[in-house]
Amino acid sequence: MKNLCIIPARGGSKRIPRKNVKPFLGKPMLAYSIETAQQAGLFDEIMVSTDDAEIANVAKQYGANVPFMRSAETSSDYATTADVLKEVIAKYQELGLAFDNFCCFYATAPLVQSKDVVSAFERLQKSDFTCVYPVVLFSYPIWRCLDLAEDGTMTRHWPEFENSRSQDLPKEYHDTGTFYWYKTREWLTGNIKVGGIEVSETTIQDIDTETDWTLAEMKYTLLHQ
């Protein structure tokens, strides 16, 4: 059983320039994903897929491999994560290396806990799921959401739940957008059956603005007190 960790880290971040290598509490943001993957103890190879020389150097400094640079096609604004993953797997196959499972681990996920990476992998292996990723409970019941019209009028999207107790409402979850485990052969053939693990809200934070960045640093400090 061989496992590959793929960390996509393109150089052209628009909303927060150089986000992947910007210092986050004293270390480049990318370093946290590499270190968490190392702490999980599951990977035969931890690699960073990038088109950027500085990012490649940071990746190597913190113990990841950069066996090849990302192509121009997968470095464009229109390339998808799937395009990047397929390119990486194909490049390794050209080198004579194959992996039974791989984990796409995003470079801007400093709050991820290694135990959650391990839990997701165990669920992948002990089930017929071909993909497993972490989800988190919505912090407020989505069944109470409101529609706001242009004139300011508000209506309940689901009026049937207006008088329901919170504890009686169905639980709903959303994708954390941090990491995704796959069985390689099944993913390449399009055979996808998805499973999830629930994680704590303190381990996730979208980081698209400077305010998001500050909140992530606060959460990280709270987690590691």
For the chain, the DSSP string reads: --EEEEEE--S--SSSTTGGGSEETTEEHHHHHHHHHHHHT--SEEEEE-S-HHHHHHHHHTT-B--SPPPSGGGSTT--HHHHHHHHHHHHHHTT---SEEEEE-TT-TT--HHHHHHHHHHHHTSS-SEEEEEEE-SS-GGG-EEE-TTS-EEESSGGGTT--GGGSPP-EEE-SSEEEEEHHHHHTT---EEEEE--GGG----SSHHHHHHHHHHHHHHT-
12 confidence band (pLDDT: 50, 70, 90): confident
Question: What tokens were used for 107?
Answer: 């470079």
Residue 198 falls inside a structural domain: yes
The pairing of strands 27-28 and 146-148 is unpaired
Q: What is the mean pLDDT of residues 38-44?
A: 98
Q: State the amino acid at position 155 in one-letter form.
A: T
Instruction: List, in order, residues 6 or more apart from 67 with CB less than 8 Å away.
Output: 47, 91, 92, 95
Residue 33 falls inside a structural domain: yes
pLDDT at 15: 84
> How many CA atoms lie within 13 Å of 168's alpha carbon, on the beta-carbon side?
6
Q: What is the mean pLDDT of residues 148-167?
A: 95
Q: State the amino acid at position 183 in one-letter form.
A: K
Domains identified in the chain, total number: 1
Residue 144 falls inside a structural domain: no
Task: Answer yes or no: are the C-beta atoms of 54 and 11 closer than 8 Å.
Answer: yes
Residue 160 falls inside a structural domain: no
Q: What is the mean pLDDT of residues 65-73?
A: 96
Residue 208 falls inside a structural domain: yes
User: How far, in Å, CA of 168 to CA of 183, rounded?
Assistant: 36
For 78-133, write each residue's pLDDT tens digit: 999 999 999 999 999 999 999 999 999 999 999 999 999 999 999 999 999 999 99
Residue 150 falls inside a structural domain: no
User: How far, in Å, CA of 147 to CA of 159, rounded?
Assistant: 11
pTM: 0.95
Supply angle C-alpha 123, 125, 131, rounded to 5: 70
Residue 124 falls inside a structural domain: yes
For 185-211, write each residue's pLDDT tens digit: 999 999 999 999 999 999 999 999 999
Range of the domain at 26: 3-136+174-223
Percent of the chain scoring above 70 in pLDDT: 100
pLDDT at 13: 78
What CATH number is attached to the domain comprising 90? 3.90.550.10
Closest to 19 in 3D by CA, of 33, 36, 3:
33
Say which residue the tokens 């499973």 belong to. 195
